[in-house]
């Protein structure tokens, strides 16, 4: 028993564990999972096979149970499977577990199995295997304003920054704002450290008193950088802060932070554990005369462990305007998602209208050694793609080869997608995918399969509609294997109120090779109607009644599959209240009645989430009574619970110390469930700037899980250092640019009689600010040869389109200002219960307006999703580029036609629909199974 306890303890604390069997090799009954550890990206069904070997001379009649020790994973397979094993024989039992996207990344989840004799209740054998959620780190930041003008009467400088976490794990991040020495005295560094939850965003403000040297300087850059706890850079944003000038001399060192995101970090994790790890991270880039060189390094090694050092997110990249080459860890997202070690390159024209890309990877996430030692070969893959991008038409074609030992197949997949913007505010896209799969490794016939989708969206007056439809054959080798997905939505908007209705149908019925013992089937239907809008200033409310129906064959009663079903009638309610600029509260709930195949009659269920924020203090809480998903139903049924209940609550806080050189953050959470017991987690972190570019940090994470009479506890102490590195400067040949501005009163784009000189007109050249003199001219000297964008901010009803000039000699140009009209609008996010979990921020979406000559105007939405343009009179196309949106979002009316009149206001709106989640199934097979 000591040996068993030691194995159980190690399986809970090691980052990577191996499968251990409670039954020893000499035992008469042995449970052998086909995989010791399975990694998942979340939101998918995991399938594996248990081999139960009976070495007795008599048959066994028993009951197999599966135990999930904590909240996170959900058991799909029926508990209490009756098994009969003949003497000296073996049977194979499929087990299915659902891993949602919300489970904690990087943590090992132990799945335990026990076989009890039916007559005596004696435990005949026990075993376990592990499931780990792959960590997806995806934090980004951007400044709400990229150019700030300092007037002589300015007394303070305020820089707002939006930080967005699109990853699947909460992150402790550090955001740093820095100003150069030209601001007066020592360089100014302000640090904000905080914890940002998965799929959320927050707004950070940096404030600095304006000094005389700031006003006297021609201009300087404020640099905003974001770092993970290990020092890895996740985002950089620059803001031009300047006083307008008539004449400027370009000085690269004056406008660039020489420490532009390059860094080196070293940290130690699990320092209280004999199996501590050491992490080395680095990132850097350097400009060359013809392009840019970039590199990334992330290396991890373990003490007292036989594991191979891990080298991931490590690559080198060189890119020019038309050619790029990358080697190291490669990721490719397509119909088959590929990642591994290899190389890729692209070649394109100067405008990136036509691009060819090719690459090859060995599907091994460790750049050195073998990441799946002792298992099947990792396989390999390659691809060749072509893309054509025009304003109204886009075409993407690719050819992909995938050698997958895990599925015993070699596949060739061809994908073609065409997107066309139809006049009249309609957008259409169609995709067709064909595949050939070779199963000769298991002596099966090759298969030809196909998949395709059609998407249509548009707007007719106040009505918006969208239709998204996908179909694939059961043997299709892509991620959406054997899938039928139909999503239809209609939305009506009147002012700030919105009424919508949608219908979603999803069917999952893949076909696997004959050596698979189980083929899953899943079907879901949901329909919803809703209304949302403001009920008072700062308060919005939405109601959405919904009906949902789920069916699945992935649940077992005894040794046979049963048809499981779940029907529910719910009301979804969301209330958001902005109390002040630094205080808000949000409440959403889902409640109703449901009927399932696991209990007779109708039952009531309720799920609520409450979030409150005041300055640095945040509090969250969640309560659930009753089941909403199959996994919750199965767990409650298998443990003889009348209902599923869960309560969670937790605070978070951050504080600056020692004149903001030190930042302390802390958070805690408590979760209690009648199924998985209770858990307590606490995290704290301290960062201190010991030197101008050197930071020390320490973090402590505490976790304690209690289930029945068992307790599991882990502690992780992390220590590290981050050193920022300079970027070398570049000397380039220089030129002179002169710009003349005038008011084109007669709108003929020529300076002639009746026109007037634009005096004291602001002008931006690559975001460097000028102010025209009495003659309407500005003079910019010492410019390197490159493309420059000239912008004229809206001023007293006069405006001009941005213009681009490639400067390789001294140049003079004239810009005509024209009388403008206003184009205002907003974006709306459309969600459903099955939608992906993404931040609901409406800020930072790029809106483009194009005139009939092809000239483009761009802006970004604010926090409320609002945007505005001041445009010359004429006909325009307002659009959102879908490629700039998250992969989970479809724009229902991405291109609309508008007519702008002088000194009048025109309105337009866009609807961004968040796609529904698709359940994906992984089938894991062991070559040792007979």
Max avg pLDDT among 123-127, 199-203, 744-748:
123-127
Q: What's residue 467's pLDDT?
A: 92
pLDDT at 566 over 70: yes
Residue 247 has pLDDT above 80, yes or no: no
CA dihedral 770, 773, 776, 779 (to 10 degrees): -50
pLDDT at 254: 39
pLDDT at 548: 93
pLDDT value at position 919? 44
Token pair in block for residue 697 = 């940090």
Least confident of 182-186, 317-321, 615-619, 822-826: 182-186
Residue 798 corresponds to which tokens in the numbers above? 């006069």
State yes or no: pLDDT of 766 exceeds 60: yes
- Which segments within 423-518 are labelled E, that is strand? 426-438, 447-460, 463-472, 483-494, 497-508
**pLDDT of 249 higher than 80:** no
Give me the mean pLDDT over the 508-530 stretch: 82
List pLDDT tens digits, range 190-217. 778 788 877 677 888 887 777 666 665 6
pLDDT confidence of residue 781: 84
Q: What pLDDT shows up at residue 451?
A: 94
Tell me which of 18-22, 170-174, 445-449 is least confident. Answer: 18-22
Q: Label the pairing between strands 44-54 and 920-923.
A: parallel
Among the residue ranges 348-362, 534-548, 649-663, the one predicted with the least confidence is 649-663
| Burial class for 216, CB neighbours closer than 10 Å (0-12, 13-18, 19+) | exposed
Return the higher-pLDDT residue of 588 and 251.
Answer: 588
Q: Residue 298 pLDDT more than 70? A: yes
Q: Which range has the worst mean pLDDT, 343-352, 671-680, 919-928?
A: 919-928
Measure Cα distances from 533 to 15, 340, 575, 612 in Å: 47, 47, 10, 21
Is the pLDDT at 433 greater than 90, yes or no?
A: yes
- What pLDDT does 252 receive? 44
Measured distance CA(383)–CA(774) in Å, rounded: 59
Mean pLDDT of 631-656: 84
> Taking residues 703-732, what's their average pLDDT?
76
Q: Compute the distance between CA of residue 473 and CA of residue 477 in angstroms, rounded to an integer.
A: 9
Enter the tokens of residue 846: 């790029």
Residue 926 has pLDDT above 70, yes or no: no
**How far out from the chain centre does Cα 869 lie?**
30
Residue 184 — pLDDT band, cuts 50, 70, 90? Answer: very low
How many Cβ atoms sit within 10 Å of the Cβ of residue 749? 10
Q: E strand or H helix at 7, and its extent?
A: helix 2-13
Asked if residue 279 has pLDDT above 80, the reply is yes
pLDDT, tens only, 774-794: 899 999 887 877 888 888 876
Across the chain, mean pLDDT equals 80
- When pLDDT is averaged across residues 398-406 and rounded to a whole number, the result is 89
Higher pLDDT, 147 or 509: 509
Q: What percent of the chain has pLDDT over 90?
A: 19
Given a cut of 70, whether residue 575 has pLDDT beyond it is yes
Distance CA 541, CA 532 (A): 6
What confidence score (pLDDT) does residue 257 get? 38
How far is the C-alpha of 815 from the C-alpha of 790, rounded, in Å? Answer: 9
Give how far the C-alpha of residue 416 lies from the chain's centroid of Cα atoms, to the nearest Å.
25
The per-residue pLDDT for 337 is: 78
Q: What are 752's two structure tokens?
A: 């002639």
Count Cα neighbours of 198 within 13 Å in the Cβ-side half-sphere.
14
What is the mean predicted confidence (pLDDT) over 280-288?
81
- pLDDT at residue 689 greater than cutoff 90: no
Q: pLDDT grade, residue 890 (50/70/90)?
A: confident
Reading the block at residue 60, the tokens are: 């066994």
Q: Tell whether the model's pLDDT for residue 592 goes beyond 90.
A: yes
By CB atoms closer than 10 A (0-12, 13-18, 19+), residue 535 is exposed
Which tops the pLDDT comparison, 751 or 599?
A: 751
Window from 21-25, 769-773, 822-826 with minimum mean pLDDT: 21-25
Residue 9, pLDDT above cutoff 50: no
Residues 488-512 have a mean pLDDT of 86
Given a cut of 90, whether residue 593 has pLDDT beyond it is: yes
- What is d(CA 840, CA 256) in angstroms, rounded to the nearest whole number? 33
> What is the pLDDT, as a whole number, of residue 424?
54
Overall average pLDDT of the 863-882 stretch: 84
Whether the per-residue pLDDT at 471 is higher than 90: the answer is: yes
| Mean pLDDT, residues 677-686 taken together | 90
435-463 mean pLDDT: 88
The mean pLDDT value for 407-426 works out to: 83
CB of 117 closer than 8 Å to CB of 126: no
User: How far apart, in whole angstroms, are the C-alpha atoms of residue 403 and residue 362?
Assistant: 10
């Amino acid at each position: 028993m000591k040996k068993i306890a030691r194995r159980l303890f190690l399986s809970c604390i090691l980052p990577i564990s191996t499968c251990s069997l409670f039954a020893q090799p000499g035992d008469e009954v042995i449970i052998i999972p086909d995989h010791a550890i399975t990694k998942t990206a979340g939101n998918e069904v995991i399938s594996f096979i248990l081999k139960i070997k009976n070495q007795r001379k008599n048959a066994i009649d028993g009951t197999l149970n599966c135990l999930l020790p904590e909240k996170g994973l959900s058991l799909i397979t029926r508990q209490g499977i009756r098994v009969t094993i003949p003497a000296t024989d073996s049977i194979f039992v499929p087990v299915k577990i659902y891993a949602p996207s919300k489970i904690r990344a990087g943590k090992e989840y132990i799945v335990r199995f026990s076989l009890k004799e039916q007559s005596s209740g004696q435990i005949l054998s026990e075993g376990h295997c592990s499931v780990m959620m792959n960590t997806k780190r995806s934090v980004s930041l951007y400044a709400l304003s990229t150019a700030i003008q300092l007037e002589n009467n300015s007394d303070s400088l305020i820089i707002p920054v939006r930080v967005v976490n699109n990853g699947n794990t909460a992150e402790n991040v550090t955001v740093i704002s820095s100003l150069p020495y030209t601001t007066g005295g020592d360089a100014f560094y302000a640090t904000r450290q905080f914890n940002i939850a998965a799929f959320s965003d927050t707004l950070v403000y940096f404030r600095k008193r304006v000094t005389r040297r700031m006003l006297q300087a021609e201009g300087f850059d404020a640099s905003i950088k974001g770092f993970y706890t290990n020092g890895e850079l996740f985002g950089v944003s620059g803001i031009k802060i300047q006083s307008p000038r008539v004449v400027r001399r370009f000085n690269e060192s004056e406008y660039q932070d020489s420490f532009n995101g390059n860094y080196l970090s070293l940290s130690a994790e699990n320092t209280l554990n004999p199996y501590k790890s050491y992490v080395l991270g680095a990132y850097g880039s350097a400009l060359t005369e013809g392009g840019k060189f970039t590199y990334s390094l992330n290396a991890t090694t373990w003490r007292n462990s036989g594991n191979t050092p891990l080298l991931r997110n490590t690559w080198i990249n060189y890119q020019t305007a038309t050619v790029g080459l990358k080697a190291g860890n490669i990721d490719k997202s397509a119909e088959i998602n590929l990642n591994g070690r290899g190389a890729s390159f692209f070649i394109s024209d100067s405008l990136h209208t036509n691009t060819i890309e090719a690459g090859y990877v060995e599907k091994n996430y460790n750049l050195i050694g073998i990441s799946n030692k002792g298992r099947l070969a990792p396989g390999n893959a390659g691809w060749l793609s072509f893309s054509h991008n025009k304003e109204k038409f886009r075409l993407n074609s690719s050819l992909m080869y995938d050698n997958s030992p895990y599925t015993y197949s070699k596949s060739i997949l061809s994908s073609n997608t065409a997107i066309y913007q139809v006049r009249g505010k309609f957008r259409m896209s169609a995709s067709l995918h064909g595949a050939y799969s070779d199963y000769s490794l298991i002596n099966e016939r090759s298969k030809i399969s196909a998949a395709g989708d059609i998407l249509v969206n548009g707007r007719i007056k106040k009505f918006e509609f969208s239709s998204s439809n996908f179909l694939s054959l059961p043997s299709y080798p892509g991620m959406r294997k054997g899938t039928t997905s139909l999503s239809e939505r209609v939305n009506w908007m009147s002012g700030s109120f919105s009424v919508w209705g949608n219908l979603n149908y999803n069917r999952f019925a893949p076909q696997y090779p004959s050596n698979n013992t189980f083929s899953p089937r899943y079907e879901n239907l949901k329909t919803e109607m809703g209304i949302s809008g403001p009920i008072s200033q700062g308060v919005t409310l939405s109601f959405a009644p919904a009906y949902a129906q789920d069916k699945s064959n992935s649940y077992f009663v005894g040794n046979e599959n049963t048809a499981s079903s779940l029907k529910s009638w719910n009301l979804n309610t969301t209330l958001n209240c902005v109390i002040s600029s630094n205080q808000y509260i949000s409440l959403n709930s889902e409640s109703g009645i449901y009927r399932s195949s696991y209990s007779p009659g109708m039952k009531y269920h309720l799920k609520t989430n409450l979030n409150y924020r005041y300055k640095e203090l945040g509090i969250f809480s969640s309560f659930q009574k009753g089941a909403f998903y199959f996994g919750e139903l199965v767990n409650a049924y298998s443990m003889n619970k009348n209902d599923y209940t869960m309560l969670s609550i937790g605070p978070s806080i951050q504080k600056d110390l020692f004149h903001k050189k030190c930042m302390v953050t802390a958070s805690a959470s408590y979760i209690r469930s009648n199924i998985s017991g209770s858990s307590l987690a606490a995290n704290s972190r301290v960062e201190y700037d010991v030197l101008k570019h050197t930071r020390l940090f320490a973090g402590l994470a505490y976790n304690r899980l209690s289930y029945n009479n068992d307790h599991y506890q882990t502690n992780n102490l992390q220590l590290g250092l981050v050193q920022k590195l300079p970027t070398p400067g570049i000397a380039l040949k220089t030129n002179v640019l002169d710009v003349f501005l005038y008011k084109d009163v007669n709108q003929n784009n020529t300076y002639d009689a009746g026109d007037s000189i634009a005096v004291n007109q602001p002008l931006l050249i690559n975001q460097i600010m000028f102010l025209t003199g009495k003659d309407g001219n500005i003079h910019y000297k010492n410019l390197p040869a490159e493309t420059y964008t000239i912008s004229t901010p809206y001023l007293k009803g006069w405006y001009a389109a941005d213009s681009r000039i490639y400067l390789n000699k001294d140049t003079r140009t004239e810009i005509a200002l024209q009388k403008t009209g206003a184009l205002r609008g907003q974006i709306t996010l459309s969600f459903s219960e099955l939608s992906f979990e993404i931040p609901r921020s409406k800020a930072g979406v790029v809106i483009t307006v194009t005139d009939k000559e092809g000239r483009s105007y761009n802006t970004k939405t604010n926090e409320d999703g609002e945007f505005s343009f001041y445009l010359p009179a004429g006909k325009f196309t307002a659009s959102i580029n879908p490629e700039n949106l998250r992969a989970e979002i479809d724009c229902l009316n991405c291109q609309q036609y508008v007519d702008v009149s002088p000194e009048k206001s025109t309105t337009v709106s866009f609807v961004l629909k968040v796609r529904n989640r698709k359940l994906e199934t992984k089938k894991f097979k062991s070559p040792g199974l007979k």
